[in-house]
Amino acid sequence: MKERDADTGLQGHELARRRFVQGLALGGAAAALGGFAKPVWALAGDGQPQVLSGTLFDLHIAETRVNYTGATRHATTVNGRLPGPLLRWREGTTVTLRVTNHLRVPSSIHWHGILLPFDMDGVPGISYPGIAPGQTFTYRFPVRQSGTYWYHAHSGFQEQTGLYGPLVIDPARGERVHADRDYVVMLNDWTDMDPAHLYALLKKHSDYFNIHQPTVPEFLRDTAMLGLRGALAERAMWNRVRMNPRDLIDVTGFTYTYLMNGATPAGNWTGLFRPGERVRLRFINGSSNSYFDVRIPGLKMSVIAADGQDVEPVAVDEFRIAAAETYDVIVQPEDERAYTIFAQSIDRSGYARGTLTPRPGMQAEVPAMDPVPRLTMVDMMGAMEPGHAGHGDMAMPGMDMPDRARAHHARTEYHNPGVDMLVDWPRTDLDDPGAGLRDNGRRVLTYADLHTVGGSLYREPVTREIELHLDGSMERFIWSFDGVIFSKAKPIHFRYGEHLRLVLCNDTMMNHPIHLHGMWSEVESPDGHFQVRKHTVNVQPAQRVTYRVKADALGRWAYHCHLLYHMEAGMFREVVVA
């Protein structure tokens, strides 16, 4: 019997209510007494975390007791804090970070999105052996960029158990956009469950945490719209590909408690402002396996940076932030009232929230979550023709397909039990906000809106193109590139100095945030022009995304999906630049 059976009757709003009240007595974060970790965000009256700045840092990785849900658990923390302290560097300096591992197992810290020598990147088995128990590793490298980033473990499931923290690099010439106040807003997902056990459950039952299953009332509504034959055909199609049209993410609010700056929704992280001030919010999705749709009801957000890189300002009501992405926004509240920062999970099974307020103690209404999104034919099949978002062609592995389609897929994808489906003509639209955000009445950010200030860093022509397909088997919970899991894959080789175009085609019905270590990824528009510079590129279901990379960083680098359990299940490659 599955452990969740007692809760199968819970609906999404009831789960959200339960998550909200959990931790209420503790203020929504770890207890400050009895050896519990203090949320760093609660230590200062202005809502800022503990800040470590300068060029020399001593960081200590250890276990710390926490309690987010009424049950005591052990977290993996940096300097006894969850999230870890905010590290503040300055562009043009050289930083030294002495990291000591007090755990009984090896550990590591990866500096996400930072350009540095490969042996400072912090990925065990790729860039270094890791940090053994009781040992100290010294990271030292020049700071060659500015913006909002973060750091996290790259060892086992330690990222899921709390080893992460925010990182802000001040530009050498000052900020391009003025702000009167500056807050980090870090989003995370916490589970009381042992992540290794969680992963084992996914391997046995990939839909274990998905409470949003098709229901009889939904079938009756489909019958009213499509007719009985149409409704049966649609259900048969989803059954054929072994997918659920509401299977948007693997791990949900059924087990996750969503955190904002280390506080549960009940804890209500709070940032202060004076009416008329320009407030910079540095959003970081430091979660292990979650996407968030973020809005602040009553306030427009001006997006000014993506993944640490300044972009031409774009005014929006809402944005989706994939795991590992960062977005900086400016808001300017004019009224003497509180505003809710609302970050609902992609599947609407829960949310994180905080408050912007002119006075401590003020709160705003927390909005109801949106309806549970439903995947569509576009999410499943892509486009009928290249560049045209429509119904599209989809094939099951092993089916006879036209010659033109075979050219799009690696032979390792065919007759492969680790590949559920192949998308012949993936869509190339960057202006689609994604399932659950389409036509919702709000102005939603898309990649098509993002334009990096100053244009491309890579002006030379592309010399080589590498196409990779994002594959998976939901039933077996296998995730891969080109149908090959990491343990069976050969490294991808870049020639030092060459200009590459990487083509990612998503043959699955899930979003995948793909992160290339050590080098920038310059996303291109569908017609091949420079769009936006990023370190993590989200690829939507049945979508094709291209980006340029200059192989200017010698060494061995990690390249993977940033959903922790997808990476663990095989969607990971080593890139060698030589």
C-alpha distances (whole Å) from 56 to each of 99, 140, 568 are 11, 9, 33
Q: What is the pLDDT of residue 232?
A: 59
**Closest C-alpha among 96, 30, 37 to residue 64:** 37
Q: What is the pLDDT of residue 243?
A: 62
CA gap 271, 354 in Å, rounded:
8
Look-up: residue for tokens 């400050």? 32
What pTM does this model have? Answer: 0.88
CA gap 167, 143 in Å, rounded:
12
Q: What is the pLDDT of residue 180?
A: 97
Residue type present at position 181: R
CA gap 214, 570 in Å, rounded:
29
What are 336-390's pLDDT values in tens digits? 999 999 999 999 999 999 999 999 999 999 999 999 998 887 787 776 444 443 3
What are 319-339's pLDDT values in tens digits? 999 999 999 999 999 999 999
CA gap 470, 434 in Å, rounded:
17
**Closest C-alpha among 171, 347, 351, 329 to residue 257:** 351
Q: What is the pLDDT of residue 43?
A: 35
267-306 CB burial, b ≥16 within 10 A, e <16: bbbbbbbeeeebbbbbbbbbbbbbbbbbbbeebebbbbbb
Q: What is the pLDDT of residue 36?
A: 42
CA gap 501, 506 in Å, rounded:
16
User: Would you give the DSSP letter of residue 529?
Assistant: -
Longest dimension (CA), the chain: 68
CA gap 83, 23 in Å, rounded:
17
Token pair for 328: 């900086």
Q: What is the pLDDT of residue 236?
A: 60
Residue 99 Rama label (left phi>0; alpha psi -120 to 50; beta): beta
Q: What is the pLDDT of residue 209?
A: 82
Q: What is the pLDDT of residue 403?
A: 37
In contact, 440 and 370? CB cutoff 8 Å: yes
In contact, 513 and 560? CB cutoff 8 Å: no
Instruction: Provide DSSP, 191-205.
Output: ESS-HHHHHHHHHH-
Q: What is the pLDDT of residue 240?
A: 57
In contact, 57 and 50? CB cutoff 8 Å: no
413-450 CB burial, b ≥16 within 10 A, e <16: bbebebbbbbbbbbbbbbebbbbbbeeeeebbbbbbbb
Mark the ranges of the chain whose per-residue pLDDT is less than 50. 1-13, 16-47, 219, 384-407
194-232 CB burial, b ≥16 within 10 A, e <16: ebeebbebbeeebbbbbbbebeeeeeeebeeeeeeeebe
Q: What is the pLDDT of residue 442?
A: 97
Residue type present at position 41: W
